[in-house]
Amino acid sequence: MPEQPTSPGRAGIKVFLVEDHPIFRLGLRELIEQELDLQVCGEAENIGTAWEKISRTPPDLAIIDISLAGRSGLELVKQLKDELPDLPTLVLSMHEEALYAERALQAGARGYIMKHETSDLIVDAIRRVCRGEVYLSEKMTSNILFKMVGGTAKGPLPEQCLTNRELEVFEMIGRGLTTQEVSRRLCLSAKTVGTYRERIKEKMQLRNASELTQRAVQWVEQSNKPQKDA
């Protein structure tokens, strides 16, 4: 889908979209353009194109999905933090924030919100991040504060040894997706997904595919539990 031009002469916060699903990107553009103080100034569906456009004409905010073809969107978040430290980024993703929000903040994002949230919440997150605030859901904020005051989470912590892309594959395995389904979701070959599976097993010292699936399912279930039940 070709990039649509920004409305001529329109003022407001300039937002750049990095999202590889054209239909969702169009819906997000329409949502943002409905707000008088917001405008979409550019779009990209992969990290290379996004970096080229953003570095040439930096926006006021970049909204970035995690699952992009070839590389994780969190790599772009980190690159923007390193190269354009004054540019705020908001991660908008289908992935549970319990699994990725902290990792996104560590990469340099100013906020994390899931795609299934209401339009009002997404717009609120955009405005708050542009004001210099950090945006997370109340539940996720509570969980992080719990850890800061000495709380500990039980269960395996694979995110400590897996890369961002490996963690995406690991999560999808835990949600019951096959190699072919993961391949389609991430726009990767089945062979590449198989390589990620082997790396995950090696790093987590898992002997076979059965142990990998069991561990992934346990982790997804544990991550989605309320902190008080951990």
Q: Is 108 left (phi over 0), alpha (psi -120 to 50) or beta?
A: left
Amino acid 54: pLDDT: 97
- Give residue-wise pLDDT tens across range 73-87: 999 999 999 999 999
Residues of the chain with CATH 1.10.10.10: 158-229
**Which numeric CATH code is attached to 13-146?**
3.40.50.2300
Q: What kind of fold does domain 158-229 have according to CATH?
A: Arc Repressor Mutant, subunit A (1.10.10)
Whether 9 shows a pLDDT value over 60: the answer reads no
Decide which of 185 and 86 is more confident: 86
Residues of the chain with CATH 3.40.50.2300: 13-146
Whether 194 shows a pLDDT value over 80: the answer reads yes
- Give residue-wise pLDDT tens across range 161-180: 888 889 989 989 998 999 99
- Give residue-wise pLDDT tens across range 106-150: 999 999 999 999 999 999 999 999 999 999 988 888 877 777 776
